Amino acid sequence: MQVPRHWREIPKRYRLEAAKCSQCGYIAFPQRLICPECGAAEFEKINLSGKGKLETYTIIRVAPEGFGDQVPYAIGMIELEEGVRLMGQITDCDPETLKIGDHLIAKFRRMREEGESGVIMYGYKFVPDVGV
């Protein structure tokens, strides 16, 4: 029963809501109750830009169940402008042409279908940031 939990988390994931520590400025994503840097419990809500640079990536050629129609695809670690690192699938490009340092931007996309129930899961994926 993962579906209700997933739906509950969609707004935060979609808007890339993060929490910025009021004391030291640390940005927590996902949001946390206690700042891991200074221990403060006061945060200001911010929305991440979703823009970042590709730090490292790997190309998936044998897909886990539910991703079979998408191989090959790349999974990368992206460092956002705000300094937050996100792991995500990179789409809308030929994975073979990716380079470390590429500019990417997070977009809300279909992730996969949930087994036989056919429920479609959504989340963010990264696409090349062509400045549009």
- 41 touches Zn ion by CB under 5 A: no
Tell me the sheet residues that pair with 104.
Answer: 52, 128
- 70 touches Zn ion by CB under 5 A: no
Torsional sign, CA 6, 104, 64, 30: negative
Give me the half-sphere count of Cα atoms (radius 13 Å) on the Cβ side of residue 113: 7
Q: Which two tokens stand for residue 89?
A: 């699938």
- 37 touches Zn ion by CB under 5 A: yes
- The site that binds Zn ion (CB under 5 A) totals a number of residues, namely 8
Q: Which two tokens stand for residue 90?
A: 């990179």
By CB under 5 A, name the one of 35, 84, 90, 104 that touches Zn ion. Answer: 35
- 34 touches Zn ion by CB under 5 A: no
CB of 85 to Zn ion, least distance (A): 17
Q: Which two tokens stand for residue 70?
A: 């998408």
CB of 40 to Zn ion, least distance (A): 5
Q: Which two tokens stand for residue 98?
A: 């990716």
By CB under 5 A, name the one of 16, 18, 19, 21 that touches Zn ion. Answer: 21
CA 93 to chain centre: 17
CB of 122 to Zn ion, least distance (A): 31
- In the complex, which residues of this chain contact Zn ion (CB under 5 A)? 21, 23-24, 26, 35, 37-38, 40
